[in-house]
Structure 1
Amino acid sequence: MSVLTQRLSLTGILVAIASPLVAQQGYQQPPANVAQILDAPARPQILTSPDKSLLVLLDRPGLPSIATISEPEYRLAGIRLNPRTSGPSRQNPSRGMRVMPMRGGEAQPIAMQLPAGGGISYPSWSPNGKLVAFVVSTDDALTLWVADPTARTARQLSARKLNAVLGAPCSWMTDAALVCTTIPANRGAEPTAPSVPSGPIVQEALSGRADRVATYQDLLKSPHDEALFEHYATSQLVRFSLDGQATNIGAAAMLSDVSPSPDGQWILVTSLARPFSYSVPLNYFPTTIAVWRPDGSVARTLASRPLIERVPWGGDAAQVGPRNPSWRADVPATLTWLEALDGGDPTREAAKRDRLLALDAPFAGEARTLLETEWRARGVTWARADLAIAREGQSRQRKARVWVFDPSGRTAPRMLWERSSEDRYGDPGNFLTTRNALGQNVLRFTPDGRSVFLVGAGASDEGDRPFIDRYELATGRSERLFRSTAPYYESVVDVLDPRGTELLTSRESQTEPANFWIRNLVRRIAPIQVTKFEDPAPAFANVRREVVRYTRRDGVQLQATVYLPPNYDKARDGAIPFLLWAYPLEFGSAEAASQVTGSPYRFTRPGGSSHLFALLQGYGVMDDPTMPIVAMDGKESNDTYVEQLTASAQAAVDKIVEMGVADRNRIAVGGHSYGAFMTANLLAHTSLFRAGIARSGAYNRTLTPFGFQGEERSYWQAPDLYERMSPFTYADKIKTPILLIHGMADNNTGTYPIQSERMFAALKGNGGTARYIQLPAESHGYAARESVGHTLFEMLNWLDQYVKPQRPRM
């Protein structure tokens, strides 16, 4: 070895020794007042009985442990499954079931002998509304159970193991039977990975054919992955009767969707087949849609679709051939589906985009067209033989229409309204449905059959004020039955009587947690409280909050919710350190972007890794300051992304400083996902902030080259835009301290962990101040108690280190 080489080698050793090393100390806990809230159980899940007489409460535990989140998991074809249970991984099911009368009374437990560690999931009412089917999960199996809420009893219907790899495993077929996907009796052991590769992995692109795909996660990567997916996705369909009998239906297959007809005499079955793809997830694999008889024989094959690797692109793109098959809800057995009339290409000139077709049992002959739409069809609410509601829309133009039409074809369709889909103030609401004699959800009418009910958020300059209207279909006349009034935020959950005079609502205020109430609109009596859930985090009882409005320099109206820590006194405490937490949104107009969102009367308590926990450590929080990216002057929204983003941030900072509550020199900015992208951009292009917190973000848009968020242009169509919007491009400009946090198992499209890994390397390589936290086993959102606690520990420590001290910025 030469002297020079020896010197260089020694220099490398000295540099390595001199480099800062971070001790790996395991999971850390946030302050005790934060940890106490994290350890509380979650609010129960509530099911309302179809006859409106009972509430079923499913008791949910608190955050799962890292051991639960780290259980065995296969990530295949866009899904994540637990090979021990043949169900989805990362589950945290309910642990008990209680029932209470709708008109008041204590909740009583439903007696059941759950196996040790058993959890409850997938609850569903029987068509007649008397029983609740549910799935019990253990460490190695999923099984079917049934509860009688009136008798407060539950029992296991069968010990046969269910398969929930491709979705909910069970559906009611009749009041006396369910159909479920189960593990085939002959499935055997899972395929073993070869010790020696059988050959290279080959993918191919065809000349002249543009197969644009998003940056999907968890795709198949090898022949062994293919074998594992087929092994676990294959199910045997079984009919379980309430007397415990189990009958196989058809042959085992990769059943991705199973839906019995309303009369229980037919089964709509969607199944997958080879060849698989390494470029797209399972919903693009070869698919067969067929109607089965109860014995498993095929009555009609609706579609047999090959592998799709040429994925339709854009918000209004659609697959070719039958899509969205479903049963018509108001009749015993009529199959309906949509078909694109423009080849699924929204850029193609076409007088009509979609058509809705129907085919009656026994599914012979040709389907009939019920409706054709000028825009892309969005869905149908069925009502009766001569009436249904259809929706259509245009994504890029942000337009929506609603039609009333006659499925029998005797009268022409009639438009109820056309509106801007982003105009919250003008939203007439959603149609209320009810269960019919077939156990299906259909449009709810008044007793005279002429009017229906519309329920909406009631957005206004005062904030959201939920409402319910009676709407006459023939004339379009609307009568407001109820609207939430201050100091409450009260939304309609259901209508308890045919005339719409008695409502079940969810009511809350700034100081009262959300509970169910019964409100009579005719009798002048006080509303009756049904549930009595208490404040899960009383430490926040003295937090002050205010919805504020302010103006961006281009005239766009903005808003935010400003929180001040418990017992804050402006005269005593003055201007304090603040955290801004935001998420940008795209709009087609300044008018829509300026509309007020949310309500000043919500009961707000943090959970999980919420940024609002900073309030307990003496910080103010400006929550969700609107960061609209508006299409202006004939340009696309993102053409001026950086300029609009920085202008919104400047206006937000100016507002809280003007209020006298924030110290301009001690303000941090943070966000999750696209909010993390925003955070890094603001640190690159402004000097407004003392520090940043960016969680699970994407920072280099060239790694999402075929679009992101609402951006439909590819990198090759707008390379300057992609580079200009990427904070990675400006990593050398980011000198403000930034904390990066990312789940190591992130499965969100576009936010691969490599995004944070390379951003940290760029910051470090350019002399920036950064800390990079990788959370083992965590996905895009953080679930485990240990991970959530450590995330809050890091966030609060970062703020304490770089924001709270009264010293000049770095």
Structure 2
Amino acid sequence: MKLCPPIPALIISSLLSFPLSLANLALAGEQVAGYQIPSSPLAALVEQAKQNKVLLSPDGFWLLSLSPQGAPTVKQLAQPMMRLGGTEIDSHGHLPGKLPTLYDELSLRRASDMQRQSIPGLSALMPVMAPKFSPDGKTLALISLATDQPRLQLIELASGKVQEQDLRLNFSLGVNYRWLPDSSALLLPLVVGEHGQAPSSQSAIPGMPAIKESQPNQVAKRTHRNLLKNPADHQAFAQQVLSQLALLSTEGELRPLGSPVFLLDADASPDGRFILVEQLTEPFSNRVPYRGFAKRFEVMSLTSGDALYRVRVPGSDAERDDADMPGPAPRLFHWQGEANLVWVEGHRSEAKRSKTQETDAPANDAAVHESSDAQKAEASFRDTLYTLSPPFTVSAKVLGQTQWPISAINWRDDGKALISQIRRSKQLIKVSLLSPATANTATAWQDWYQISSKDKYQDPGTLVRDPVTHLVATRNGAMYHYGDGHSDDGMRPFLATSKAGEARSLLWQSAPSAFERVVALESLSPLQLLVSQETPLQPPRLYRVWPESGKREPLIPLAKRQPALEGIQKEHIQFSRADGQPLSGTLYLPANYRHGDGPLPVLIWAYPREYKNAEVAAQVDFNPLSYPRLSPLSAPAMVAAGFAVFDRVSMPIIGVGKNKPNDTFLAQLVANAEAAVKVLTDRGIAEPGRIAVGGHSYGAFMVANLLAHTDLFATGIARSGAYNRSLTPFGFQNERRNYWEAQALYQQMSPFNVADKINEPLLLIHGEADANSGTYPMQSSRLFDAVSTLGGQARLVTLPFEGHSYRARESQLHVLWEQEAWLRSHLSPKETTAAAAAQPL
């Protein structure tokens, strides 16, 4: 029997008492040990069922509907975790600390007529995760967590027969497994060792010194939590993640491939002859999480298991954290065509490049280093795209070069590639079509689009891919893509075709009276779609749509009705700050509120974002036709308790040209907040003294600054924030200057430095296991200490076992209870006609 550690009580620090008249909500005394439950309308939000996910098999024959599991319990989060390598691992189950979406119900239907397929014994497998159809659509693989170890299950779809595979799977660094292209077998990572003894997450020798040593000219790195500290940590991490790559046939035959390695991923070539293996290599770094460790990419023969080609990639601990200038190490390895290996390298000299090769046939730069003139021309390029064909013994060829760093490569079914380049400092993204050279033609480039990386209006959305080859689908050179269709009027999702250099051609668009989204393309000719449709009074439902004829057929519901939420009023408000910059936000009002009832207690919720383009900063993000769904930890959840909520309020921090956004952070932040308060008071929705401000993460940072630098708000709620920028000295958000380059800026932006000016009550909430870079729990505890010692009013709630967001059911209920009690205490309604409207639904 596996024993669980006792669950510690919530850690709550408070310098105030709630009125006794609110005994059903408020705290009894200064401290409360244990979790609390909010009022019924809020508690119902935690228990509500989530929207189902739908998957279409690659052959289009089967439709899989999956019901996501509800929030885990705090007891589940309390399971012992190995916190090493910048991550969390369930060392007993060989699972990542944060699992993919779990499903507790699954139904399989024939797509043609929605006839259910019986799968005997399916309920005993729940919960399950990571379902994957075989490429031929005849078998469904999924991972069952019905026991304390993950178990692979193979379901023969035609018969409904389930086959459990008794294997010790090692998913410590991610739930990664793949089908072979011919559907004959799966690539799996297995635990090494007969017994699979879970290593301890603690150092083997108590009191062992943790030693760090820097080298001259060592590059700056952002701060991270749970890094390796000593040799015992290295040994424990290595033992945990060591895996044996294996091939499991659908008949149950198991064959190991190669020797055990620190496996990250394995992917078969499209022709099924080779495997591309990504693995970590020792020695591991103490400065970066495991994703930044040195790696080896290896091409392996599927039949023999022999390594045919190896490339060593240095760790990122020697590279600057700079998206505009990523290190020169090879990256973005993948397959193209039948078995061509493709990757990207940053510009560097031939001598430097050769140091990373572990093969007798290193890639050849001859095509771009033919002369001194060519070398000068090379300097204008940032990245080079290489390809190497079987048998991987000749020199690599250059496919093309780019002036910006390549962020993604998407191959089309016509052999051309969409190359995405990004300049993070300028917030620009460019996507171009690369036509590789042939025997008769030269390499050709054609731009598809270049937009701000934050431009929602011009975003083409998601490319349509072949469900078997995963290549971008084209017809006569045109690509299919679908998106949300953002505009000043809201969202109208669409399906379109586009050619590089030409305007898009619209094939389908959501109806003006409903919100519809593409779920899957069943056929391109004739065009046949699966779409999700919802309205403010109808929960999402799956439809089959034929755009050319206008015919549509209802299929299955995707979500349950939430009658208590259907009357909630939602309005998108556009307004401007004092300098004319357009702003917007979504106002939620209780169902029983009527205009003319008078002001309500209001919660304003926001998140500051940096922009390099004022027009893009003015874009709106609003969906007037969606069915009301309130996530329990979202700000609009509080409308169920009778509060007005002004959510997703624009907080743009703009720096055009050479001006950096944060140079005027406080001035712009205050101007945004003043405009938001003014529009609500002008409309009679809010009144001074009854407005709160809240935010999560960088939004919490905003809250503390607004309480310190303005008197606009009666109180604030700050969750999982960072408040002292000297504790994030190597950058934060999109700020790339370090503390010593912009010391005055860091000090000015830190609300910790002006804690004596925070004279409104502040509720601080933080997960005690927050491993997000920069938002360590110490940030909240230090701000609480400062505010409380300086005579301010504050309350700090630390949630056991929670990270940057709060997952446990008990935690979510308690956070809602804290927020509800806090807002009722500090936004106490006056004796007006609005008092009745401010009660729970």
TM over 0.5: yes
Q: In the alignment, does 2:165 pair up with 1:165?
A: no
Q: Quick one: which of 394, 402, 405 aligns to 2:431?
A: 402
In 1, Cα distance between equivalents of 2:461 and 2:91: 43
* DSSP-derived class of the 1:698 partner: coil
Q: Quick one: which of 487, 492, 499 aligns to 2:525?
A: 499
Output aligned runs, 1:17-416, within 5 Å.
22-91=30-99, 93-103=102-112, 105=114, 107=116, 110-112=119-121, 118-156=126-164, 158-173=165-180, 174-186=182-194, 189-191=197-199, 196-197=205-206, 199-207=208-216, 209-295=217-303, 297-328=305-336, 331-341=337-347, 350-384=379-413, 386-409=415-438, 410-411=441-442, 412-416=444-448
**2:211–2:229 CA contact under 8 A, matched in 1:** no
Going from structure 1 to structure 2, the CA distance change for 1:530 and 1:220 (only over 3 Å counts) comes to same
Equivalent AA in structure 2 for residue 336 of structure 1: V
Equivalent AA in structure 2 for residue 225 of structure 1: D
Per the alignment, residue 465 of structure 2 pairs with 433
**2:429–2:452 CA contact under 8 A, matched in 1:** yes
Per the alignment, residue 559 of structure 1 pairs with 584
Q: Quick one: which of 411, 419, 424 aligns to 2:451?
A: 419
Q: Quick one: which of 640, 656, 669 aligns to 1:616?
A: 640
* DSSP-derived class of the 1:650 partner: helix
**2:314–2:329 CA contact under 8 A, matched in 1:** no
Equivalent AA in structure 2 for residue 294 of structure 1: L
In 2, Cα distance between equivalents of 1:565 and 1:262: 55
* DSSP-derived class of the 2:689 partner: strand
* DSSP-derived class of the 1:531 partner: strand
Equivalent AA in structure 1 for residue 401 of structure 2: E
Displacement of 1:319 in angstroms is: 2.9
Equivalent pairs, count: 775
Q: Quick one: which of 685, 688, 703 aligns to 2:709?
A: 685
Bigger CA drift: 147-156 or 553-562?
147-156
* DSSP-derived class of the 2:532 partner: strand
Deviations 1:502-544 (A, max 9, x none): 222222222222222222222243x222221344532111100
Bigger CA drift: 616-625 or 397-406?
397-406
Equivalent AA in structure 1 for residue 549 of structure 2: R
In 1, Cα distance between equivalents of 2:179 and 2:523: 26
In 1, Cα distance between equivalents of 2:315 and 2:429: 31
Displacement of 1:649 in angstroms is: 0.7
In 1, Cα distance between equivalents of 2:209 and 2:743: 33
Bigger CA drift: 51-60 or 267-276?
51-60
**TM-score, length of structure 2 as denominator length:** 0.88
Going from structure 1 to structure 2, the CA distance change for 1:349 and 1:211 (only over 3 Å counts) comes to farther
In 2, Cα distance between equivalents of 1:407 and 1:650: 54
* DSSP-derived class of the 1:801 partner: helix
Alignment gaps of 5+ in structure 1: 1-14
Equivalent AA in structure 1 for residue 340 of structure 2: T
Displacement of 1:320 in angstroms is: 2.3
In 1, Cα distance between equivalents of 2:122 and 2:506: 48
Deviations 1:594-621 (A, max 9, x none): 1122322222311232222211221100
Bigger CA drift: 59-68 or 687-696?
59-68
Q: Percent identity?
A: 34
Bigger CA drift: 720-729 or 530-539?
530-539
**1:250–1:295 CA contact under 8 A, matched in 2:** no
Q: In the alignment, does 2:559 pair up with 1:543?
A: no
Bigger CA drift: 380-389 or 672-681?
380-389
Going from structure 1 to structure 2, the CA distance change for 1:596 and 1:39 (only over 3 Å counts) comes to closer
Equivalent AA in structure 1 for residue 507 of structure 2: L
Equivalent AA in structure 2 for residue 417 of structure 1: Y
Output aligned runs, 1:632-711, within 5 Å.
632=656, 634-711=658-735
**1:274–1:286 CA contact under 8 A, matched in 2:** yes
Equivalent AA in structure 2 for residue 590 of structure 1: A
Displacement of 1:408 in angstroms is: 4.2
Displacement of 1:419 in angstroms is: 3.0
Displacement of 1:303 in angstroms is: 1.4
Per the alignment, residue 369 of structure 2 pairs with none
Equivalent AA in structure 2 for residue 49 of structure 1: S
* DSSP-derived class of the 1:513 partner: strand
Going from structure 1 to structure 2, the CA distance change for 1:199 and 1:423 (only over 3 Å counts) comes to closer
Q: Quick one: which of 491, 498, 505 aligns to 1:479?
A: 505
Displacement of 1:633 in angstroms is: 7.2
In 2, Cα distance between equivalents of 1:768 and 1:349: 60
Displacement of 1:104 in angstroms is: 5.1
**2:64–2:107 CA contact under 8 A, matched in 1:** yes
Deviations 1:296-318 (A, max 9, x none): 64443341134442232222232
Per the alignment, residue 372 of structure 2 pairs with none
Per the alignment, residue 477 of structure 2 pairs with 450
In 2, Cα distance between equivalents of 1:289 and 1:79: 22
Structure with higher RCO (Cα < 8 A, 6+ apart): 2
Going from structure 1 to structure 2, the CA distance change for 1:97 and 1:350 (only over 3 Å counts) comes to same
In 1, Cα distance between equivalents of 2:334 and 2:46: 41
**1:385–1:407 CA contact under 8 A, matched in 2:** no
Q: Quick one: which of 803, 809, 825 aligns to 1:779?
A: 803
Equivalent AA in structure 2 for residue 391 of structure 1: S
Bigger CA drift: 379-388 or 30-39?
379-388
In 1, Cα distance between equivalents of 2:716 and 2:342: 51
Equivalent AA in structure 2 for residue 455 of structure 1: Y
* DSSP-derived class of the 1:218 partner: coil
Equivalent AA in structure 1 for residue 127 of structure 2: G
* DSSP-derived class of the 2:591 partner: coil
Going from structure 1 to structure 2, the CA distance change for 1:460 and 1:93 (only over 3 Å counts) comes to closer
Bigger CA drift: 655-664 or 543-552?
655-664
* DSSP-derived class of the 2:103 partner: coil
Displacement of 1:87 in angstroms is: 0.8
Per the alignment, residue 735 of structure 1 pairs with 759
Going from structure 1 to structure 2, the CA distance change for 1:633 and 1:271 (only over 3 Å counts) comes to closer
Equivalent AA in structure 1 for residue 410 of structure 2: T
Per the alignment, residue 19 of structure 2 pairs with none
Per the alignment, residue 3 of structure 1 pairs with none
Deviations 1:83-142 (A, max 9, x none): 1110112446222321123355365553335657x4211111212122221111244312
**2:345–2:385 CA contact under 8 A, matched in 1:** yes
In 1, Cα distance between equivalents of 2:379 and 2:38: 58
Deviations 1:726-767 (A, max 9, x none): 111110000100100000011111110000010100010111
**2:589–2:639 CA contact under 8 A, matched in 1:** yes
What is the RMSD of the two structures over their aligned residues, measured on CA atoms? 2.5
* DSSP-derived class of the 1:595 partner: coil
Displacement of 1:194 in angstroms is: 6.2
Going from structure 1 to structure 2, the CA distance change for 1:107 and 1:754 (only over 3 Å counts) comes to farther
In 2, Cα distance between equivalents of 1:626 and 1:296: 58
Q: Quick one: which of 591, 603, 624 aligns to 1:579?
A: 603
* DSSP-derived class of the 2:214 partner: coil
In 2, Cα distance between equivalents of 1:791 and 1:520: 45
